[in-house]
């Protein structure tokens, strides 16, 4: 046919295709039409970003460079998650786990036997009932069955994910073929008839952490042991705990990569949406791998970018509990699902190249692993330092004698510097995140050097400025740095709170954004002290109304920063902060705090936090923070589960020595400083005590302590961290109090030891600011 006729025929065919509503490229044999594909979840357990390599895992490597990527927090009911825990999280859309073994080992997953029930399903239900997360294993399977959604599962993990509440997988279930070609054919066949395809691509376990067979139950499987995965079937390469030689992580990753390659080969020609997620740990807790490719019903498709979710609000970080909400959204079943703690996984802007995106995730993974190596020792050393300070302060502050002579004056100076350094330690533990210490050859050493550097800078600033001549000046600067640092961090995305010793750890998956309970305690204690400093200065200038206004404005700012869904997103914080600043404002105005006033403030605080939650709940589900999801849970009838879980955690940490020591010691030392002047004259803390004039010098000191104590008590009752809240607030408030007391003694009238001060020795530093 002449070229002109061929061109005319092509044009006519294209015009006819447009008139008929068919895409023009479908008529071009060079551009074959893609068949709409299913939503595919490829689940694996134990896969980390450092397992990927160009030669060892080419399929995973290529997928990570073409798709949207993220690290996964696989935290389940316990600190370390087993393979069953990850698949149960998909099934329930919530944290759920297998029954804990006495030796802490994980069980090998098996395909359903002749009965059709997932092996161990009774254990899964019993474990869920014993926990307070309100998890309902089988939720996803029941929802798929109720909506008529066609599903196919391949492998034992897929059977767990797609099982209904009766323990039997909905739709079609297949075993994982031994040969990759057979797996590709099975995937291709399932893609033609399924809306959802779930594939268990295998397990990666650290040496020494191999899974073990589940002990026989009341309803044992009828399948011979030799035909069960991991015991003679498709997973023979993964030995049980009795094996002498275990495969390395690299060898296991090669097996997983071959299965992933087979799945992708089977999906060739289909416009499938693929989520590859590592759902559980490999022995020790660590961040895992997530990759997504393909279209989405709403919004931009998964392409070369990062992944995030509304439950983390951190670019490149998602949770296992986000997988089920994502699957339901991709299947357009989100309106049929109950309230879930996770959120949809969505693409977010990332680096221009795949290598740069993966390099950032490796850096995040390294930081998350490194913080777990230093947080425990940081906490222990901080408590020991506090104990030493409390004992030293109890001795030095009440020692009578001339503070302008040896040996008392050097002791008071050392006590003041030490107290300021210890008070600066909490905020320094957040600021240390500005220094990439985890990239050092010796990360632990790098952390301590960075921490000591920040402590030195803050302490030097507290002692160097013009404020050093006032009683509350140095302590007020430490409090101010703490408040400003945490407030700015909350407003700018909580980058310092994440993976800091006193913040939220990605691996623990407790909180990924906003203000942690420890940050709330610090900003409350520091905010009250800062308010007292401002009000005291204004009161001395005769501007009482302005002093009250300053306290109110600072309190409002901190309440908004702490409670707003876009910033702090803290549920238990606003009532505590409102009460504390209301008490300080009343004291500054010259009035007394009554019980009616406290009750009124409590009602206002509850209204404020519920207002924040309601505003967040009114936003789209994908954009809600945990405030809105909590309200949604309450409306779904899950309030008791949340309350009981918080109470359980509160009671579990109540007896921890790391928090009891600073809490009890701090309260005792505060009583020593404030209650002493009211004791009988002639006693150790009588009217002749060296601290007798401290409250006269700072009249707002006692109201400040009362307000801080009330706020930390409310925080103790409302937050699941329990005693961690007052212990953390004391870590800032009491050292600042000690520094102020030492500062006052260094500038107080001289005492010859008889209990009678020498008024002629009073320097100008006795005033407060």
- Condensed to tens digits (0 to 9), the pLDDT of residues 102-148 reads 888 999 999 998 889 999 999 999 999 888 788 999 999 999 999 99
pLDDT for 353 beyond 70: yes
* Residue 229 banded pLDDT, cuts 50, 70, 90: very low
In this prediction, residues 252-266 reach a mean pLDDT of 97
Q: How many Å apart are CA 215 and CA 126, to the nearest integer?
A: 16
CA distance 368 to 211: 25
Q: What confidence score (pLDDT) does residue 442 get?
A: 95
Please state which of the four CATH numbers 2.20.25.90, 3.40.50.2000, 3.40.720.10, 1.10.20.60 is assigned to the domain occupying 34-350. Answer: 3.40.720.10
In the chain, how many H helices and how many E strands? 23, 12
* pLDDT exceeds 60 at position 268: yes
pTM of the entire structure? 0.82
- Rounded to whole angstroms, the Cα distance separating 620 from 171 reads 31
Q: Which burial class, exposed, middle or buried, applies to 360 when counting CB atoms under 10 A from its CB (0-12, 13-18, 19+)?
A: middle
Per-residue model confidence (pLDDT) at position 522? 96
Q: Where in the chain is the domain with CATH 3.40.720.10?
A: 34-350
How far CA 568 is from CA of 504, 603, 608, in Å, comes to: 13, 21, 14
Q: Write out the two tokens for 187.
A: 């995937």
Query: In the structure, what pLDDT confidence band is assigned to residue 460 with cuts at 50, 70 and 90?
Result: very high
Which among 39, 517, 578 is positioned nearest to 325, based on CA atoms?
Answer: 39
3-state secondary structure of 317: strand
pLDDT in tens, 474-484: 999 999 999 99
- Alpha-carbon span 637 to 646, nearest angstrom: 16
Model confidence band, residue 461 (pLDDT cutoffs 50, 70, 90): very high
Residues 6+ apart with CB under 8 A from 702: 674, 695
Region 527-541 average pLDDT: 93
> Could you give phi then psi for residue 361, rounded to 5 degrees?
-65, -35
Mean pLDDT of 584-607: 81
**pLDDT tens string 176-219:** 999 999 999 999 999 989 999 999 999 999 999 999 998 764 33
- pLDDT on residue 753: 38
What is the C-alpha to C-alpha distance for residues 398 and 395, in angstroms, rounded to an integer?
Answer: 6
Segment 357-383, tens digit of pLDDT? 999 999 999 999 999 999 999 998 999
Better-predicted residue by pLDDT, 246 or 39: 39
Report the phi/psi class of residue 621: left, alpha or beta, with left for phi > 0 and alpha for psi in -120 to 50. Answer: alpha
Smallest Cα–Cα separation from 357: which of 300, 294, 305?
305
């Amino acid at each position: 046919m002449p070229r002109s006729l061929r061109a005319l025929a092509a044009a006519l065919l294209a015009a006819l295709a447009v008139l008929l509503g068919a895409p023009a490229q479908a008529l071009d044999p060079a551009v074959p039409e893609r068949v709409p594909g299913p939503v595919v979840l490829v689940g694996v357990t134990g896969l980390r970003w450092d397992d990927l390599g160009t030669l060892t895992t080419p399929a995973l490597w290529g997928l990570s460079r073409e798709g949207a990527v993220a690290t996964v927090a696989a935290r389940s009911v316990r600190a370390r998650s087993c393979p069953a825990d990850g698949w149960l999280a998909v099934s329930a859309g919530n944290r759920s786990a297998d029954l804990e073994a006495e030796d802490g080992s994980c069980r090998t997953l098996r395909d359903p036997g002749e009965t059709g029930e997932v092996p161990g399903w009774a254990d899964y239900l019993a474990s869920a009932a014993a926990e307070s997360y309100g998890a309902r294993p089988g939720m996803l399977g029941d929802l798929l069955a109720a909506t008529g959604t066609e599903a196919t599962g391949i492998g034992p993990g897929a059977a767990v994910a797609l099982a209904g509440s009766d323990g039997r997988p909905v739709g079609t279930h297949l075993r994982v073929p031994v040969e990759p070609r057979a797996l590709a054919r099975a995937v291709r066949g399932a893609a033609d008839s399924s809306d959802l395809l779930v594939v268990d691509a295998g397990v990666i376990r650290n040496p020494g952490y191999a899974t073990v067979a589940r002990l026989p139950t009341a309803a044992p499987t009828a399948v011979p042991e030799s035909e069960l995965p991991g015991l003679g079937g498709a997973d023979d390469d993964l030995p049980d705990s009795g094996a002498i030689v275990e495969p390395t992580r690299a060898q296991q990753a090669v097996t997983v990569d071959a299965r992933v390659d087979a799945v992708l080969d089977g999906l060739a020609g289909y416009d499938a949406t693929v989520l590859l997620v590592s759902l559980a740990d490999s022995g020790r807790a660590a961040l895992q791998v997530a990759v997504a490719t393909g279209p989405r019903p709403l919004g931009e498709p998964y392409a070369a970018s990062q992944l995030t979710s509304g439950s983390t609000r951190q670019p490149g970080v998602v949770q296992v509990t986000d997988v089920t909400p994502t699957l339901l959204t991709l299947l357009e079943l989100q309106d049929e699902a109950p309230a879930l703690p996770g959120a949809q996984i969505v693409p977010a802007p990332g680096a221009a190249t795949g290598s740069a995106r993966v390099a950032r995730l490796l850096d995040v993974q390294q930081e998350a692993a490194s913080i777990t190596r230093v947080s425990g020792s940081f906490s222990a050393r901080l408590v020991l330092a506090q104990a030493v300070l409390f004992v030293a302060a109890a001795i030095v502050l009440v020692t009578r004698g001339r503070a302008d002579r040896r040996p008392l004056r050097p002791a008071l100076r050392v006590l003041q510097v030490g107290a300021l350094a210890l008070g600066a330690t909490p905020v320094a533990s957040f600021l240390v995140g500005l220094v990439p210490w985890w990239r050092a050859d010796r990360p632990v050493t790098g952390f301590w050097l960075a921490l000591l550097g920040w402590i030195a800078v803050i302490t030097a600033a507290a002692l160097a400025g013009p404020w050093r001549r006032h009683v509350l000046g140095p302590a007020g600067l430490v409090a101010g740095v703490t408040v400003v640092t945490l407030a700015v961090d909350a407003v700018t995305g909580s980058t310092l709170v994440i993976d800091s010793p006193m913040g939220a750890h990605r691996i623990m998956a407790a909180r990924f954004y906003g203000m942690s309970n420890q940050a709330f305690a610090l900003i409350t204690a520091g905010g009250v002290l800062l308010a007292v400093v401002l009000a005291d200065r204004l009161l001395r200038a005769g501007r009482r109304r302005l002093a009250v206004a300053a306290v109110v404005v600072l309190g409002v700012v901190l309440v908004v920063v702490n409670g707003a869904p876009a910033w702090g997103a803290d549920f238990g914080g606003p009532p505590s902060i409102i009460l504390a600043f209301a008490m300080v404002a009343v004291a500054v105005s010259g009035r007394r705090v009554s019980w009616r006033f406290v009750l009124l403030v409590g009602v206002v605080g509850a209204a404020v936090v519920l207002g924040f939650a309601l505003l967040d709940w009114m936003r789209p589900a994908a954009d809600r923070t945990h405030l809105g999801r909590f309200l949604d849970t309450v409306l779904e009838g899950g309030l008791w589960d949340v309350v009981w879980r918080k109470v359980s955690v509160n009671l579990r940490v109540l007896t921890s020595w790391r928090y009891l020591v600073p809490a009890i010691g701090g309260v005792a030392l505060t009583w020593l400083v404030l209650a002493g002047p009211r004791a009988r004259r002639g006693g150790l803390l009588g009217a002749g005590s060296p601290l007798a004039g401290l409250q006269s010098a700072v009249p707002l000191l006692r109201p400040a302590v009362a307000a801080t104590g009330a706020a930390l008590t409310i925080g103790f009752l409302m937050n699941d961290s329990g005693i961690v809240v007052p212990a953390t607030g004391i870590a800032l408030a009491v050292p600042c109090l000690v520094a102020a007391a030492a500062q006052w003694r260094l500038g107080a009238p001289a005492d010859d030891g008889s209990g009678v001060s020498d008024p002629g020795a009073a320097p100008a530093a006795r005033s407060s600011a």
